[in-house]
Amino acid sequence: MKNAEDLRNLVKSVRDRSFPYEKREPAERNWHQYDQAQADEIADILETIRDVVNIASSRIKEEKRGVGRPPVATSDIVKVMLMQAYFGMPNRVARGFLRLFGEKLGISSEFSYKTIERGYEPDRTKKLLDEVHRIMNETGNSMENIFSTDGTGDPNNMKVNYESKRSQQRIEKEKNKDKDKRESDAFPHTKGKHDFQYSSFSVGVHTKMIAGLYTTDDHSIGELSMFPDIMRQTVYC
């Protein structure tokens, strides 16, 4: 594409369903492999988390702390966080799952849910999580040739719902389409300055793995402005 305007026009044609899609033949499914994958999924996911985090940890040297009680290894915290994301559970429940699956994850000692909570502080785990992301792309998306992009918003407040705000934005845009012909890609937002954490990403169509990610709480930018950086990550994944 020549410029951002071309991208905006492409997105507009997809949204108004004028883009010329070519229908694909439905893929055949090996039901034996499908059934086996369903049965082994949880064990496979936990083993993958263990192995990938161990590799990522070996590439990154953890900073040594001063005197006092030895800290919980960042790699152990990240393993629990990834398990937590897979099952979709709060910190306290994740603490219980650590008791249940700690050995499978290669974690030798238990720790409190507050330790899991502190793992969401970027200074503690971001470096290791970024390395995990790179490894998953190296191994999972290296042979992928089709990627899909999308954007979303995660509310920072339980009273805020992204999809309802997005729906309201579309209704208002439809009402005002005769007044303003320009195609807007701005994120919806409330009066609060930090109501949503906006994210846009690319995902391998076959692998289902994230290849590129851009996230911000800045209301002044839109989804399309994130895509160049996302696509650069995707190309080099």
Rounded to the nearest 10 degrees, the angle between the axes of helix 74-87 and helix 31-59 is 150
One-character DSSP codes across 3-55: SHHHHHHHHHHHHTT-S---PPPPPP--HHHHHHHHHHHHHHHHHHHHHHHHH
Q: Which of 233, 192, 200, 237 is nearest to 216 (CA)?
A: 200
Rounded Cα distance between 80 and 210, Å, is 19
One-character DSSP codes across 183-208: ---BPP--SSTTSEEEEEEEEETTT-
For the chain, the structural domain boundaries read 40-61+71-140, 145-235
Residue 170 has pLDDT above 50, yes or no: yes
Q: Which of 164, 111, 144, 120 is nearest to 210 (CA)?
A: 144
φ, ψ at 7 (rounded to 5°) = -65, -45
pLDDT tens for each residue of 70-99:
789 999 999 999 999 999 999 999 999 999
Neighbouring residues of 188: CB distance < 8 A, sequence distance ≥ 6 = 153, 162, 165, 166, 168, 169, 196
Rounded Cα distance between 81 and 107, Å, is 13
The whole-chain average pLDDT of the chain stands at 84
pLDDT tens for each residue of 105-163:
999 899 999 999 999 998 999 999 999 988 988 888 888 888 988 888 877 666 666 66
Q: pTM of the predicted model, to two decimals? A: 0.69
